[in-house]
Chains A and B, each alone.
Chain A
């Protein structure tokens, strides 16, 4: 069984984002890069399957810059068997990334039985790549998955929708599964795992190698800017129990008279 896990490298969640000088992207020089948090659930799910099916091979695939390969290294240290890196800039659009992932999977010579990915990358927040990739590979997909069972080729996947309701899907492999937080608890990479990861095979391709060119761009970004800052609000002291009710009543009143929202 061949399992592919698509991972992306993104700025850490605590990053203070600053647009670059010409507004074409963000300033990336001092960013700490991490594996996209939702991709950790994807890697973990693949490894859980490998635990139950030792013959399974888990390949992690990433499209992005080479300057820091944190995401791939982490995934292989967690237990993935091998990796594929498609070298590209850090602000490719979803269509190009999906096409590059498809090209990389096909170039590996393996036929995917399962493709896992995070439900969204927390940099561009598009929630597109798994669905586009599924369409390109002509595979069914289930996105925002918080529950997953595999019995032979039968998959049962729980997809979280508005309000926390769950749609329970039945689908056969091969399929694409986009993972959400809550699916599992990702393991930490062990020290031996980190040492072993250094010897695991890592294939490297250019975008051209996997059939992607500038002509594949579908979404253009410009004018990166910080959102407008709100003017400072008012602060009320309700630490004195005697004045608490007056203070709260005043704020509640202002929500109607001043803010006009209730």
Chain B
């Protein structure tokens, strides 16, 4: 049985779902949660329901917003005061930036972006994709403890019947220490949709979209089904969409429940980035497009005709 700390982030005051996925998988171990800043009682309760023994709220000067050094200093001091075997976090923007630095404070190893894990005789054994998911490998950690792990959102799935923990919440006095790289401003994204890496449904467009304006038909579909819009490298390199929307080996690796590929041929580097999607729908005029080898439901046809019809059919189905 391992003694584990799970670092959680919040979004609009709510615990990120990946935290609950991790807690669900840690049943049988002792799992505490650490958060920077405050956390409302209902959120502490949710963490408790998913198995959190203690919820440590780290509060102090300089921690009002994220900084790699401030968060790392506060968390490393807290971790040093305890005896955790493992520290887990979501492989989010913050997790991927913070956890390697934090691990380095301890001279410890970090397994990035794991999609599954077990404890073999108390030792972590993870599975992670490499080469953007073209292959998988077993990952183990060695060297000084605690060992650090980041887990890909949506990969483990929500626990069906989690084992509850005590969920004892307490404030911890923390200090950000010296912050040399600090956020001066946050420029909000044009879209308010959830990020591709956390999206439950993605509608993606490829080179066949022809221009940026045509992405409107994908946005219309996405609005009806609550999806985030993505793009292939071909579409991004052609200037139809920003890089933040790119799915694939030099973009984002995604695993939504539903991925709808519109006018995407399915280059190997694109397939690598979306192949773990639970259900894949592909729309393409070319019946021999490689994307159809990965699609659960392939529709051979012109996306400019098929997508608007699909939007209408989803509206009917969802009673919108």
Contact = CB atoms under 8 A, between A and B. Distances in A.
Contacts of A125: 112-113, 129-132, 253
B91 to A, nearest CB: 8
Interface stretch (A61-69, A162-170, A196-204): A162-170
B134 interface: yes
Interface stretch (B24-32, B77-85, B202-210, B277-285): B277-285
B211 interface: no
A134 B105 CA distance: 10
Contacts of A175: 180-181
B137 A237 contact: no
A182 B101 CA distance: 24
Contact of B193 (A143, A163, A167): A163
Contact of A26 (B111, B131, B292): B131
B191 A238 contact: no
Interface in A126-157: 126-129, 131-132, 134-136, 139-144, 146, 156-157
Contact of A233 (B105, B109, B296): B296
B317 interface: yes
Contacts of A238: 283, 299-301, 305-306
B189 A163 contact: yes
B97 interface: yes
Given A169-B182, A262-B317, A251 B191 contact: no
Contacts of A123: 130-131
Contact of B183 (A163, A167, A180, A236): A167
Interface string B282-302: 010101000011111111111
B104 A135 contact: yes
A11 B287 CA distance: 30
A244 B158 CA distance: 37
A164 B198 contact: no
Instruction: Decide if the interface of chain B is mainly helix, strand, loop or mixed.
Output: mixed
B59 interface: no
Nearest to A146: B243
Question: Looking at chain A's contact residues, is the secondary structure mostly helix, strand, loop, or mixed?
Answer: mixed
B198 A162 contact: yes
Nearest to B134: A17
Contacts, number: 289
Contact of B139 (A14, A219, A254): A219
A127 B253 CA distance: 13
B138 A227 contact: no
Contacts of A168: 183-187
A161 interface: yes
B310 A252 contact: yes
Nearest to A11: B131
B219 interface: no
Contacts of B1: none
B249 interface: yes
A169 B249 CA distance: 27
Interface string B122-140: 0000000111111111111
Contact of A140 (B68, B107, B197): B68
A110 interface: no
Contact of B182 (A135, A166, A171, A182): A171
Interface of A: 11, 13-19, 26, 37-38, 93-95, 98, 122-129, 131-132, 134-136, 139-144, 146, 156-172, 175, 180-182, 217-227, 230, 232-239, 241, 244-245, 247-249, 251-256, 259, 261-262
Given A127-B113, A168-B186, 10 more contacts: A135-B101, A144-B93, A175-B181, A217-B143, A221-B137, A222-B138, A233-B292, A239-B301, A259-B296, A262-B318
26 contacts: A13-B249, A14-B267, A15-B131, A123-B131, A124-B130, A126-B110, A128-B100, A144-B97, A163-B192, A164-B195, A166-B189, A167-B183, A167-B186, A169-B182, A182-B244, A220-B140, A232-B293, A233-B295, A233-B298, A235-B299, A236-B298, A237-B301, A245-B309, A248-B309, A252-B314, A262-B317
Nearest first, the 10 A-B pairs at minimum CB distance are A218-B109, A238-B301, A164-B244, A162-B195, A135-B104, A140-B180, A140-B181, A164-B189, A128-B100, A171-B181
